Chain A
């Protein structure tokens, strides 16, 4: 049995959909398939070389069948935007155990245009249908955001710290032709923008787009038979965690336990420290999430996230380049953004990012699932173990 961490499992293919943004005629399933074909081409493989598949939003066998794959392993773990971090972790375990050889992970979501997308289903007897939605907490901007004032107050931060996150990340997006929001923006301009849900203005909320992405994973042993070894990305460590379906019932409004659980497991399994990390992706559906994540994953101490952003440490040339595609706030956000966070980490480690972090060797990726519901963490590197 191989190792699921320390480079025993390799990302040999990674790609996004050919187009991102507003795709008003592309059905959601075609976004999965386009991303899958691009990732397979990137790996130099065909579907004949795939014996395992994982996805979210679509039943897993719908996607495998559409691609002509008859899998011997599959994973339909559906925990919102961090499903793909968890798919990588589960696929790595299965590859290491010999349950599968080569896994395709797909994401496709017509999040903006909603072309042949699954309908939103409201269940008035569900926990959220009884205890949250009747108060107007339906859209993520009026639900995921509700704990933020408690967080800011507990740290002595203000809504200006939310705007600092937006302005910092925009610097990465400005040169990126695939980013949706590319206009340079100041902290004051973010604060003066249209208010969506106080304390959040428009630019503190993610873009809403159509698109997808896919990954191909296999064992280090099989990867040696493939071309392009210099572009292979290794899984050093991973973790996952979950709480529950109601944001109102978080164990602690000011710190999310699954961020701590998943990231600690990822660092422990990778056998690295925070100082070893060259690049970070923190899933940012809204501007408060990188602040929670910086603290909960241990990159900074409690209450230090605001100052860390203000000091420029996450900017180009900074100590911890963060959300280097512009993030969900500026690059793209289909609804399940986690796939795009992984894609940018892979590009950075391959040296192929639009705004490249010089010499990036180790990337840390932190995902969130649903609205403070679940979490998944990955430590990726361009050298094994």
Chain B
């Protein structure tokens, strides 16, 4: 494999991927328990209510964990494969971009903001160090 993998939307996840194409990060929120959740599904992760809706979120997040993959399946650059926690609660896997692939530059708890990176006919949410945030 030398080509980056491109995700394919499924019926339930289509609003997520339509959002990223428009430069908007959308996450499902439960109207019954008022919490956001991920990954996309037809009922709330927390309370199983079917009363859920898609909401745009801030795109702001905190770095929770990561590895620096020195043996990537595509390309030659090391990948920062990270878990980030959105300010709204849910955790996403992503890549950290616009920063050196160096532990010194990647302290846990670092503030991040979303970027959108085109891949094939899709757009992937990735995260970069937040600008101008204390």
Do A and B belong to a common assembly? yes
Q: Hey, which chain A residues are within 8 Å of B64, CB to CB?
A: 150, 253
Encode contact with B along A98-134: 1 for CB under 8 Å, 0 otherwise.
0000000000000000000000001011010111111
Choose one: A129, A135, A249, A253; the contact of B81 (CB below 8 Å): A135
Distance in Å: Cβ of B72 to nearest Cβ of chain A: 6
Instruction: Name which of A122, A125, A249 has the most chain B CB atoms within 10 A of its CB.
Output: A249
In the complex, what residue of chain B is closest to A136 when comparing beta carbons? B79
Residues of A within 8 A of B131 (CB): none
Q: Give the bracket for the number of chain A residues in contact with chain B.
A: 35 or more
Q: Are B93 and A124 within 8 A (Cβ)? A: no
- Asked if A196 contacts B39 (CB within 8 A), the reply is no
With known contacts A196-B71, A253-B65, A133–B8 Cβ distance under 8 A: no
Is B56 an interface residue when CB atoms closer than 8 A count as contact? no
**B99 at the A interface (CB under 8 A):** no
> Which of chain B's residues has its CB closest to A194's CB?
B70
CB distance from A28 to the nearest CB of B (A): 22
Task: Determine if A249 and B39 form an interchain contact, defined as CB atoms under 8 angstroms apart.
Answer: yes
Q: Do residues B67 and A142 form an inter-chain contact, with CB atoms below 8 A? A: yes
The contact size tier of chain B is 35 or more
> For residues 222 through 259 of chain A, which have their beta carbon under 8 Å from a beta carbon of chain B?
246-249, 253
Contact of A125 among B7, B69, B70, B124 (CB under 8 A): B7
B57, CB-defined interface residue at 8 Å:
no
**8 Å CB interface, B1-43 against A:** 1, 4-10, 13, 17, 38-39
Distance of A125 Cα from B9 Cα, bound (Å): 6
Q: Is the CB of B70 within 8 A of A198?
A: yes
Q: Is B128 an interface residue, CB under 8 A from the partner? A: no
Q: Is the CB of B8 within 8 A of A129?
A: yes
Q: Is B60 an interface residue (CB 8 A)?
A: no
Chain A residues within an 8 Å CB radius of B119? 134
- Is residue A147 within 8 Å, beta carbon to beta carbon, of the partner chain? yes
In whole angstroms, what is the CA distance A247 to B81 when docked?
Answer: 12
> A135–B39 Cα gap in the complex (Å)?
15
Tell me whether A136 and B83 are in contact (CB under 8 A): no
Once A147-B65, A196-B70 are accepted as A-B contacts, the answer to whether A134 and B7 lie under 8 Å apart by CB is yes
Give the distance in Å from the alpha carbon of A51 to the alpha carbon of B70 in the complex. 48
- Name the A residues within 8 Å of B10 (CB-CB): 125, 130
- Which B residues are in CB contact (< 8 Å) with A139? 71, 73
Q: Which of B7, B9, B13, B68 contacts A197 (CB 8 A)?
A: B68
Taking a contact as CB atoms under 8 Å apart, the answer to whether B68 and A130 are in contact is no
Q: Which residues of A contact B68 (CB under 8 A)?
A: 195, 197-198
**Are B9's CB and A130's CB within 8 A?**
yes
| Contact of B89 with A by CB under 8 A | no
A-side contacts of B50, CB under 8 Å:
none
What chain A residues lie within 8 Å of B130 (beta carbons)? none
C-beta contact mask, A130-167 vs B, less than 8 Å → 1, else 0?
Answer: 11111111110111011111110100000000000000
Most chain-A Cβ atoms within 10 A of its Cβ — which of B39, B95, B103? B39
Tell me whether B103 and A248 are in contact (CB under 8 A). no
B95 x A135 contact (CB < 8 A): yes
The residues of A with any CB-CB pair to B shorter than 8 Å are 122, 124-125, 127, 129-139, 141-143, 145-151, 153, 194-200, 246-249, 253
Contacts from B to A (Cβ < 8 Å): 1, 4-10, 13, 17, 38-39, 64-74, 79, 81-83, 91-95, 103, 108, 119, 124
> What are 18 A-B contacts defined by CB distance under 8 Å?
A124-B6, A130-B13, A131-B38, A131-B39, A131-B93, A132-B93, A135-B93, A135-B94, A138-B5, A142-B69, A142-B71, A146-B83, A149-B65, A149-B66, A197-B81, A198-B103, A200-B67, A253-B91
Using A134-B7, A197-B71 as known contacts, list a sample of 5 further A-B pairs with CB atoms less than 8 Å apart, ordered by residue number in A.
Answer: A130-B13, A134-B5, A134-B6, A136-B72, A142-B81
